[in-house]
Amino acid sequence: MIPEHTPFWHALDLAWCGDGALSLHSIRLLDAMQHMLQISDSDRALIESKFEDEVVFDLNRAGFGCGDQALAGWVGALTFLDDPAAADVSRALGRAALMAGLSRERWNAGISWMDQLTLGVPFKEGVWREGGESGELARLPAILLPVARELGVITDEQ
């Protein structure tokens, strides 16, 4: 796992980087996300420690944790994991990543992200062109947009 290429890292970024502070509500949302993704305490500690070392230490506090709304939306986007089409979309994303040109760095980023969402297997199947037919990648749920950008499947304008 590459901590900075995980949905939980993205959640920390949303929670902290709006104003350099973390609210109690954000802490509760992060706890809920940890529970939803079944992230172990040790993995969460690893991600948070690296985030603090690389990001938080350099932030200037300018408020009282205004990242709550963005973080709540992000945690709400996890409902995609309950969608029966989640595996098919993940498979299609893997195939699209392959077609966009999959470097080792992009592969590692994609696997870190998708494994944390428990969608690593269908993503790998799409890359390897195994499993069910992956189909075309039509529309991405919000929870997959950051990794799709990292994989070169979509651009920042999309």
**Residues sharing a CB contact under 8 Å with residue 38, sequence separation 6 or more, in sequence order:** 118
For position 157, what pLDDT does the model report?
Answer: 65
Tokens of 156: 């920042």
CB contact at 8 A, 80 and 141: yes
Q: pLDDT tens digit string along 20-46?
A: 778 899 999 999 999 999 999 999 999
CA dist., res. 1 & res. 46, Å (int): 10
| CA angle, 119 then 71 then 89, to 5° | 25
Closest CA relative to residue 97, chosen from 149, 156, 153: 153
CA dist., res. 115 & res. 79, Å (int): 16
**Rounded percentage of the chain residues whose pLDDT exceeds 70:** 94
For position 132, what pLDDT does the model report?
Answer: 66
Cα separation of the two ends of the chain: 27
| Residue 137 pLDDT class (50, 70, 90 cuts) | confident
Domain segments of the chain: what residues?
A: 3-79, 83-150
User: In this structure, what DSSP letter does residue 19 have?
Assistant: T
